[in-house]
Structure formats: C-alpha cells, structure tokens
Amino acid sequence: MPSISEKGRLMPASPIRKLVPFAEEAKRQGRKIYHLNIGQPDIATPQVALDAIRENRLRVVEYSHSAGNESYRRKLADYYRNLGIDVDHTQLIITTGGSEAILFALMSCLNPGDEVIVPEPFYANYNGFAVTAGVKIMPVTSYIDNGFALPPIAEFEKLLTPRTKGIIICNPNNPTGYLYSQEEIEQLGELIKKHDLYLFSDEVYREFCYDGKVHFSAMEIKDAEQNVILIDSVSKRYSACGVRIGALVTKNREIINTAIKFAQARLSPPSFGQIIGEAALDTPAEYFCHVQQEYIERRNLMVSMLNNIDGVLCPMPTGAFYTTARLPVIDADDFSQWLLSDFHYENETVMLAPASGFYSTPGLGKDEVRIAYVLKKEDLEKAIVCLEKALEIYPARKKS
C-alpha cells in the first residue's frame, strides 16, 4: 500500500474532533447539549436572499465566470465603496467561502518555507491552510488580561526573519471577540510598510461591532495598497455559512492576476451561493440592527453570568460573536470532555471549544475555552447555569 503524504500527516484535525464521540454518546443517552462550541448562528438568513433561490428559474445550472458573476462583483464593489473601501469589480474574486480566499491568498503570495506571523489565539483552520501552502505560522501571543488586544509591535518585530512574508489578522477576532482599533491597524500598517510584508486581513465579522465602535479595515491603511489582501465571506454576515461564498479583495493587480489562475483551475464558485450573495446585498438595514441588538443582549447576558461564577474571567468582547474565557480548571480539554462524558444537570450539558486548539505555542490556553454566543438568550442562560453547576463539582478544579 503506497504511503500518504507528509502534509496529510501534518494536517491538524478539527480542535473539537476528539470531543465529538463523547457528544454523540451523550446524545444517545438522551441528553440535551447546548452547543457553545461552534460559530454556526441560529439567526435566519435574510428573506430577500432565500427568496432569490426559491424564485430562480435556471434551466441549466452553468459554470459562472471563474472570478464570479460580473453582476455580483459589481454590486459587491459598491458594498465595499459604501464602507469606504475604494475598489472596483476587477479588484476582487468571488471564492468558495472565505476558506478558499485564504488559500488562494497564501498560494499566490508565499513560497513553501515562508513564514507568517499570526496573533494567537487564532482561528484554528489557518493551520490547515498553512500546511496546504507549506507555510510556517509564527505565533505572537495576545493575553486575556487586556482582553486580547494587539500585541506590541515590538513583539512582532522580534519574530521577523528573512523568511517572514506576511501577517494574518482576523478583525473582529475569532476566537477572542476583540475588535482592533484604528490605531492598532495603523500600527500594523507601519510595520508591513517598513518591512514590505503582506497583511492578510480576515474581516468576515465586520458587521458585528458593538458599543458604538467602528470597524477600521486594513484596506483603509494609507499607502499600503500593494501589501493588503482582504479576506471576506458572506457566511456570518448573512447567516449563510452553507452557501460557501467569500471574496479575495486587493488593489495589488499582480495578486489578482495570480489568484485568478488558481480560480480558473477550479472553474467557478458555486452558482446558487452567488445568487444568495448577490441578493443578500439588498438586505434591509433593519436586519442588521435586529441582529446586532440580539447579539449585544446575548453578549451582555453571557459576560455578566460568566464573570459572576467564582474563578471565571470573561473579557467584554466588542466584536464577532465569540469570547475566550478563563475557567478555574487545570485542563480545559479534560473539562470539556468531562462535561460530555460525566456530567449533566437536569439531563442537559454544554459543549465548549477548548482554547488550546487556537494557540500555536504549546501549553498556552490550557485553562481557557472559546464560547460562541450563537444561541437564543433563554438557551444561553440555561447553558451557563449548566456550566456553573459543572464547575461546582468538577474534580480537577484549579485551587484559587
């Protein structure tokens, strides 16, 4: 039997994968599980987008242009210009989810062995795309004690080597919920200009900013047009994760001309996803007001309940719909498994994402978990009560 590839061996499994069999067993035993572990919102996809699919009259579902339908690209460019990101339809490629945009960006810009600096904790799938592209992730640690703010630029500079080619940020951040300020993004701007690095800016949670804070896009950094690549997706914005539509956006013509060759090899992005994505651009503003209000209420409930639990520290996230919280446990991986295998309260339990999977530096995040507040308030409340009860009796609790 021939052997599998080295990259195949190196590919990380999903961080919650080892929990799945325990969750399945708990379900078999009739237990209700509150899923705080995944970023799959329960919010409805905008009606205007769902209607577009139901009313489509395609007779042949044909390939689209490899860069996506031109009508969609033009309308998406309008959306960006309304946000102050000055691009036209030739400066973006519609991709199969934000995932493909990240992969095309890394493949177009970096060589195997090149290094990218990423603030940790970070979205775990960056690891998979880095392995695919043969790129090495160099983590720069952010800390819970200042709410996971951008690490000092000096910490990035310490990691620079001749192989450093770029920085990846996620803003607002998954898994921390931290929204980078304009000043922080501009500091990164100075850094990439000084050392001529790429900045890959994953801004798929752009619409989820709270407390009057305004999102400042990496595309707005002055005089860095050739260095910035925006990664985008409709998944979270329109609660349409399954359509697999994203975008790679850059004013760097050479990158567009390169990425389009990767796009041509895979022919086209999904047709029905493009129909949803284009129609969703007509979503009325009230939709986002309602969704934002809902997330703010959930967040406030969750943060205050968590911080009222003895030994728990939960920073106040100002973006996305995640928080990374510290629990009074020695090992959050063990605790998360124990919640599924050994615990229930009124026949219910909670599934968490242990934060260790979001750190690249071994040993970090051992007492942290990512919590996605994607459940309606009454369920969120029950879930956190469950968590509180669990922490009261969990045997491997950390001494305070």
Q: Which residues inside 49-108 make contact with a second copy, applying CB under 8 A?
A: 50, 53-56, 58-64, 66, 96-97, 99-100, 103, 107-108
Helix (H, G, I), strand (E, B) or coil at 297: helix
In the chain the beta strands, taken as DSSP E runs, fall at 32-35, 92-95, 115-120, 136-141, 164-170, 198-202, 228-233, 246-249, 322-326, 348-351, 353-354, 368-372
Question: Helix 97-109 to helix 125-133 angle, to the nearest 10 degrees?
Answer: 40
Site for a second copy in 269-328 (CB under 8 A): 269-273, 276
Say how many CA atoms lie within 13 Å of 77 toward its Cβ. Answer: 17
**CB 334, min distance to a second copy, A:** 23
Binding mask 335-374 for a second copy (x = CB under 8 A): ----------------------------------------
The sheet with strand 115-120 has its strands ordered as 92-95, 246-249, 228-233, 198-202, 164-170, 115-120, 136-141
> What is the end-to-end Cα distance of the chain in Å, rounded?
54
**Which 19-38 positions form the footprint of a second copy (CB under 8 A)?**
38
Q: Give the nearest distance from C-beta 53 to a second copy in angstroms.
A: 6
Q: Which is nearer to a second copy, 233 or 318 (CB)?
A: 233
CB of residue 306 to a second copy, shortest distance in Å:
26
Contact pattern for a second copy over residues 172 through 191, marking x by CB under 8 A: --------------------
Shortest distance (Å) from residue 44 CB to a second copy: 5
Q: Identify the residue among 178, 198, 287, 358 touching a second copy (CB under 8 A).
A: 198
Q: In the chain, what's the furthest Cα-to-Cα distance?
A: 66
> Contact, 88 vs 67, CB < 8 A?
no
Residue closer to a second copy, measured from CB, 236 or 344: 236
Q: At what angle do helices 285-307 and 377-393 cross, to 10 degrees?
A: 20
110 binds a second copy per the rule CB under 8 A: yes
220-279: contacts with a second copy (CB under 8 A): 226-227, 239-244, 252, 254-255, 258-259, 261-262, 264-273, 276
Q: Which is nearer to a second copy, 112 or 362 (CB)?
A: 112
- Angstrom distance (rounded) from CA 382 to CA 282: 36
* Binds a second copy (CB under 8 A): choice among 73, 165, 237, 326: 165
**How far apart are alpha carbons 353 and 21 in whole angstroms?**
14
CB 77 within 8 A of CB 87: yes
* Stretch of 155-163, 175-183, 194-202, 359-367 contacting a second copy, by CB under 8 A: 194-202
Residues in the interface with a second copy (CB under 8 A) total 81
> Which residue's CB is nearer to a second copy, number 35 or number 344?
35
Site for a second copy, residues 113 to 142, rule: CB under 8 A: 125, 127-129, 132, 134
Q: Which is nearer to a second copy, 94 or 314 (CB)?
A: 94
Q: Extract the tokens encoding 125.
A: 């799938």
